[in-house]
Amino acid sequence: MSLDQPNTALDPRCPSGPLAERWTKHLSEIKLVAPANKRKHTIIVVGTGLAGGSAAATLAELGYNVINLCIQDSPRRAHSVAAQGGINAAKNYQNDGDSVWRLFYDTIKGGDFRSRESNVHRLAEVSTEIIDQCVAQGVPFAREYGGTLANRSFGGVQVSRTFYARGQTGQQLLLGCYSGLMRQVDAGRVTLLPRREMLELVLVDGKARGIVARNLITGELERYAGDAVLLATGGYATAYYLSTMAVNSNASAVWRCYKKGAFFGNPSLTQIHPTAVPQLGDYQSKLTLMSESLRNDGRVWVPMQPGDKRRPNDIPEAERDYYLERIYPSFGNLVPRDIASRQALYRVREGKGVGPTGVAVYLDFKEAIGRLGRQVVTDRYGNLFQMYEEIIGDDPYETPMMIYPAPHYTMGGLWVDYNLMSTIPGLHVLGEANFSDHGANRLGASALMQGLADGYFVAPNTVGHYIASVDLPKVGTDHPAFAAAEREVNARVTKLLSIQGNRTVREFWWDIGRVMWDQVGMSRSEAGLKEAIDTIQGLKARFWEDVRVPGSADDFNKSLELAGRVADFFELGELMARDALARRESCGGHFREECQTPEGEALRDDANFAHVAAWEYRGDDTEPARHIEPLDFEFVELKTRSYK
Amino acid sequence: MHFTLRIWRQSGPQAAGRLERYEIDDINPDMSILEMLDLLNEQLTRDGVEPVAFDNDCREGICGTCGLVIDGVAHGKKHLATTCELRMRGFVDGTTITIEPWRAQAFSVVKDLVVDRSPFDRIIAAGGYVSANVGSAPDANEILIPKVDADLAMDAAVCIGCAACVAACPNASASLFTAAKIAQFSYLPQGQTERERRVVRMVEQMDAEGFGDCSNHGECEAVCPKGISITNIGVMRREYVRALTGQLR
Amino acid sequence: MLDLRAAAWSSVGKKLITGLTGLGLVVFVTVHLIGNLTIFMGAEAFNAYSDFLASLLHGWFIVLADLGLVGFFGLHAWSGLSVWQSKRRARSSGYAVSADARGPSRKTASSRSMLYSGIFLGIYVVLHVWHLKFGAEYVTTLHGEEVRDLYRLVVEQFNRPAIALAYALSMLFLGLHLRHGVWSMLQSLGMLNRRLLPTAYGAALILGGLLAIGFLVLPLYVLFFVDPVGTAAAMGGLR
């Protein structure tokens, strides 16, 4: 199918042939833009995280004109910054049998066989180049005494392929990416526009040709025109209100594109990370992640008796249930994230939850301190213990830590083909914002890898292919499509400010978050999901009648920004529930209570659901349409994940 | 807990600002100071008063977005913490807390407690990078870096760009921020080729932005949430001398 | 690429100048104190020392030293003043509440008052030079040669309580200036690492203190323990 037509048939456009040769073959077959012509093309990149920042810098290096926007005050603050653990790459520096194939297979299997083989193999292939690039930029990865790079094993995989920079891997990678971006800003190749929020996509002749963004300082609406639009706006777990994401993370940019015709892939697939600091009160605005590595030495337990209110150290060994070790004797505390999270939920439902709210489980280091000594535990986890103590005010060396799962990553996102192009010609989606290579569950240390793979190596090539393949007549910001888009934004903003009801935006956000967490969270049922759809629709209606947004539109107005994002969460939340309802199987982070084995384990349905569900917007009053991209597994055999 | 808050309110960069007084009750000691401000803003919104604008994002001390001068100290009196990491249990119940924005001529006030830190981006753009185009990198292990150097580089690289160093400096100098980036690359083999150019251009940009000079007070290190040492400023000066003597060669 | 003149004006360039001139001045002050201690050894030793300096390189040493010192003082004052000026520009409106961050901070009364202690010392130096270098030209005989009797001038002056106390007080400012100045000049020159910095910071307190005390006891010693008339008599009376 031609690249300038909407890809509503969901053609993945994957190359054929041997899996390991597909990306190379694709690179040698795609069209190129001549060096002298590149500067005649403008590319708009929204977002400056690992995916957006690396794409903007790389496209500028190639010679394109790049316009790069972010909602933060500096590109360096994009939420990639928060990743702690590390980044995977199939370097096999440790000589422990790692390979591109093994990383590919681990990712496909970890994703519960709900991702595309071609994409995932490409991801594993370029992973090695990512490390080379980051080192060349001066990213200070951890080193051995001999000067070579250090690796660790992460997230329960059997090889050590994770590169890291103390507990700041995301920060250091983003700073590397940001430095490359700022070099291009200095060279005049990238126009950097911080504190801008994309509020509308502009289509001309069905192709993505620009955006309308709000200047968050002055409130002015600004128009940007280009030949392609790249969205790298991250995930949307803030729809749950409490999550480990930054409080400004949002879905508005992808949502505007969805409503302009981009299909939304697997919206319900969300990763709930098992080791966050639990919520202690309703005032809380954010959940803090504690690195997954804690489960390497900590033991998870709850009291055997429901409602046991004794202090943890007063509960004798015989009355403790080390439930992960009991249920999964071979993996124990190191079971994948989705399983650890779900089991914690079950304990809480059984009334065995701990802490002041009864919504937490213990993570105990007493045995580790006994076995390794306090010093070793401090070396490994000292900073995390300190962070925990800051938040909770308890000393984890003495009292077991309390942890509870938290929404952490969204595998769902805008549907894209092998070229990372959405169903709208010219609209490319990178990083967490696309429906992604992680299938139904993402492995630890793979998010950074995907962001940089998309931005450094994939998009710079495939965007050029698009530009060289389609006819792109010059479009300026005076085109009527821009004025129309701007009117839409204005109408929305005016409406938000005009309601002046009785409830604050945050109250509504809290409400939708509650529904999402209870019914579209770790464990989902048909009845619950149906109820959630009803509740969300009711909340949405009430929001548009009763919200109070203070301030004005032509000013720095955080409440207005938030109102627009929360308004989108209602619609997105509903779609997430619909997607979860339609996917009548359990896979990865998606667990349907109707679909489980007698032992309570996830029951996948490969016969009916080995596909990507991509949702099409058909108007506010019409139900969205669910389309399917079948996933063909030519190279791997579908297996049931078992961690017993 | 109950607090009296004195908060800097300023409607825009040109407007005159003033400290406004607010009373706030029912504060949970486990709340962060930003959550207390959220609560205040809820209260203000219900009362029809415009909420207080303040920057924040990750709320776990890594993005560098938040930053308030609390009772005269950038990021508050607690060491090695960002504003968002401060819990109310660290304050005395019933007291008055004064909250002001970062103050420096180079950082104009956008609104209330929000300032414009774009000068930091321009300092990095002037040379805080290694010119390494995608595709041209050698295998990562071809560049051997002694662990000691890698650790020193990392000690400097932990900067989150929050600008507390500028806010706390009696001279509003950006030396610690600029020096940390220069020092990071000075320790690494990748940083060698552009070494002289980097220090000269970054210092030039830092000066052009209107930051003050450094007087070696060391307040910057004391407020730095990541504990970056002022010895990095010494490295910047060594690098500068190196560039100068290189010029004479 | 790097314009040397522009470099000197840059914030780092200014620190290098402050540090270098500061280092020079600290060396000068230290040597000056050691020389002055000859006053405890009596008139002959002190005058011999001053004559030695005056006749070194056929008198050119003093000229060169004077020129050098004027240059060092001038540059040091200029760079110091310009740091102060930049600070006023860089933070034109201050904080309503300000407090110290403590912890690893090196901010002290000394570091905060460098400008004022510096200005005070500048005024002091002018008066000191006018007072002693260009003071009364008494003459005495040393090993058969006529030399300037600087000892007598010093004793005469320091026997006036107001002068002696003013000198002593000024030396307190010297100590205040050096407490921050001594370690700060090393930091300004990029000579400190994580290990050396705390050592230098401690050493500055000791060196600054010793220099101040050394200079401070001189006028007080003369005021309380040296009799100007007796001295004159011992030296053979007025000529």
Domains present along chain C, CATH in parentheses: 2-92+107-234 (1.20.1300.10)
Q: What is the mean pLDDT of residues B4-23?
A: 97
| Co-location of B135 and B56 in the same domain | no
| Co-location of B165 and B70 in the same domain | no
| Co-location of A489 and A614 in the same domain | yes
Inform me whether the C-beta atom of residue B173 falls under 8 Å from chain C C-beta atoms. Answer: yes
Decide: A269 and A581 in contact? Cβ < 8 Å: no
Tell me if A293 is assigned to some domain. Answer: yes
Going by beta carbons, is chain C in contact with chain B, meaning 3 or more pairs sit under 8 Å apart? yes
ipTM above 0.85, yes or no: yes
Going by beta carbons, is chain B in contact with chain A, meaning 3 or more pairs sit under 8 Å apart? yes
Chain B hits for A457, Cβ within 8 Å? 134
Domain at A315, CATH number: 3.90.700.10
| Co-location of A492 and A376 in the same domain | no
Q: How far apart are CA A319 and CA A286, in angstroms?
A: 33
What pLDDT score was predicted for residue C227? 83
* Torsion angle in degrees (nearest 10) through CA of A53, A56, A62, A66: -160
Domains: count for chain A: 2
Inform me whether the C-beta atom of residue B185 falls under 8 Å from chain A C-beta atoms. Answer: yes
| Co-location of B53 and B105 in the same domain | yes
Going by beta carbons, is chain A in contact with chain C, meaning 3 or more pairs sit under 8 Å apart? no
Tell me if A562 is assigned to some domain. Answer: yes
Tell me if A513 is assigned to some domain. Answer: yes
> How would residue C230 be classed by pLDDT, with cut points 50, 70 and 90?
low
Tell me if A632 is assigned to some domain. Answer: no
**The pair of three-digit structure tokens given for residue B168, joined into one six-digit string:** 């706390």
Contact B141 A81 (CB under 8 A): no
What's the N-to-C CA distance of chain C in angstroms? 64
What pLDDT score was predicted for residue A155? 75
Contact C112 B19 (CB under 8 A): no
Say yes or no to pLDDT of C218 above 70. yes
What pLDDT score was predicted for residue A1? 65
Taking only the tens place, the pLDDT of each residue in C7-58 is 888 999 999 999 999 999 999 999 999 999 999 999 999 999 999 999 999 9
DSSP C132: I
Nearest C-alpha of chain A: how many angstroms from B85? 8
Say yes or no to pLDDT of A642 above 60. yes
- Domain encompassing residue B17: 3-110
Decide: C80 and C118 in contact? Cβ < 8 Å: yes
Domains: count for chain B: 2
List C-alpha distances in Å: C143 to A92, A316, B205, C52, C104.
86, 97, 63, 13, 57
**The pair of three-digit structure tokens given for residue B243, joined into one six-digit string:** 């560039």
| Co-location of B40 and B11 in the same domain | yes
* Cβ-Cβ contacts under 8 Å for B208 (sequence gap 6 or more): none
Taking only the tens place, the pLDDT of each residue in A550-596 is 999 999 999 999 999 999 999 999 999 999 999 999 999 999 999 99
What pLDDT score was predicted for residue A330? 87
- Domain encompassing residue A538: 480-619
Taking only the tens place, the pLDDT of each residue in A317-345 is 999 999 999 999 988 998 888 889 999 99
What pLDDT score was predicted for residue C236? 43
* Probe site for chain B from C95, C117, C180 (most B CB atoms < 10 A): C95
Chain C hits for B229, Cβ within 8 Å? 104, 194, 197
List C-alpha distances in Å: A310 to A217, A304, A315, B21, C3.
52, 12, 7, 43, 72
Interface of B with C in 124-163 (CB under 8 A): none
**Residue in A195, A260, A147 with CA at minimum distance from that of residue B110:** A195
Nearest C-alpha of chain B: how many angstroms from C201? 11
| Co-location of A503 and A601 in the same domain | yes
Give the nearest partner residue to C11 out of B103, B214, B235, using CB atoms. Answer: B214
Chain B hits for C103, Cβ within 8 Å? 79, 221-222
For tokens 């989150």, what's the residue? B160
Q: Which of B88, B110, B132 is the last residue of a domain?
A: B110
What pLDDT score was predicted for residue C20? 96
Is residue A337 part of the annotated active site? The answer reads: yes
**Residue in B158, B39, B169, B31 with CA at minimum distance from that of residue B102:** B169
Contact A138 B191 (CB under 8 A): yes
DSSP H or E run through A228: strand A228-231
| Co-location of B142 and B72 in the same domain | no
| Co-location of A486 and A355 in the same domain | no
Q: Which of A407, A435, A454 is the last residue of a domain?
A: A407
For tokens 């209570």, what's the residue? A593
* Probe site for chain A from B134, B143, B188 (most A CB atoms < 10 A): B134
Decide: A500 and A225 in contact? Cβ < 8 Å: no
* Backbone conformation region of residue B75, classed left if phi is above 0, alpha if psi is from -120 to 50, else beta: left
Say yes or no to pLDDT of C232 above 70. no
Say yes or no to pLDDT of C233 above 90. no
What pLDDT score was predicted for residue A269? 98
| Co-location of B171 and B137 in the same domain | yes
Tell me if A85 is assigned to some domain. Answer: no
Inform me whether the C-beta atom of residue B51 falls under 8 Å from chain C C-beta atoms. Answer: no
* CA–centroid distance for A138 within its chain: 26
Of residues A102, A116, A256, A337, which has the active-site annotation? A337
Inform me whether the C-beta atom of residue B43 falls under 8 Å from chain C C-beta atoms. Answer: no
Please state, rounded to an integer, the average pLDDT across all residues of chain A: 96
Nearest C-alpha of chain A: how many angstroms from B170? 25
Q: Which of B79, B110, B141 is the last residue of a domain?
A: B110
Give the nearest partner residue to B161 out of A74, A289, A460, using CB atoms. Answer: A74
Q: What is the mean pLDDT of residues C73-94?
A: 94
Chain A hits for B198, Cβ within 8 Å? none
Taking only the tens place, the pLDDT of each residue in A380-424 is 888 889 889 988 989 999 999 999 999 999 999 999 999 999 999
Burial of C20 (0-12, 13-18, 19+ CB in 10 A): middle
User: What pairs with residue A590 in β-bridges?
Assistant: A587
Tell me if A451 is assigned to some domain. Answer: no
Say yes or no to pLDDT of A527 above 70. yes
Inform me whether the C-beta atom of residue B211 falls under 8 Å from chain C C-beta atoms. Answer: yes
Q: Which chains touch A (3 or more CB pairs under 8 A)?
A: B
> How would residue A189 be classed by pLDDT, with cut points 50, 70 and 90?
very high
Contact B215 C114 (CB under 8 A): yes
| Co-location of B98 and B150 in the same domain | no
| Co-location of B138 and B37 in the same domain | no
For tokens 């108007």, what's the residue? A619
**Residue in B161, B166, B157, B243 with CA at minimum distance from that of residue B198:** B243
| Co-location of B160 and B137 in the same domain | yes
Domain at B15, CATH number: 3.10.20.30
Tell me if A254 is assigned to some domain. Answer: no
What pLDDT score was predicted for residue A379? 82
Decide: A246 and A289 in contact? Cβ < 8 Å: no
Taking only the tens place, the pLDDT of each residue in B85-120 is 999 999 999 999 999 999 999 999 999 999 999 999
Domain at B200, CATH number: 1.10.1060.10
| Co-location of B126 and B106 in the same domain | no
Chain A hits for B60, Cβ within 8 Å? 82, 286, 288-289, 387
List C-alpha distances in Å: A257 to A253, A329, A614, B32, B152.
6, 46, 14, 35, 45
DSSP H or E run through C206: helix C196-225
| Co-location of B140 and B82 in the same domain | no
| Co-location of A486 and A601 in the same domain | yes
* Cβ-Cβ contacts under 8 Å for B218 (sequence gap 6 or more): B230, C104, C105, C106, C107
Tell me if A554 is assigned to some domain. Answer: yes
What pLDDT score was predicted for residue A382? 86
| Co-location of A496 and A376 in the same domain | no
**Residue in A241, A212, A234 with CA at minimum distance from that of residue A569:** A241
Burial of A278 (0-12, 13-18, 19+ CB in 10 A): buried
Return the beta strands (E) in A411-475 as ranges.
413-414, 427-429
* Cβ-Cβ contacts under 8 Å for A404 (sequence gap 6 or more): A276, A277, A278, A279, A344, A348, A359, A360, A361
Q: How far apart are CA A107 and CA A112, in angstroms?
A: 9
Taking only the tens place, the pLDDT of each residue in A355-378 is 999 999 999 999 999 999 999 898
| Co-location of B100 and B174 in the same domain | no
Inform me whether the C-beta atom of residue B24 falls under 8 Å from chain A C-beta atoms. Answer: no
Q: Which of B60, B94, B110 is the last residue of a domain?
A: B110
Contact B153 A58 (CB under 8 A): no
Contact A285 B38 (CB under 8 A): yes
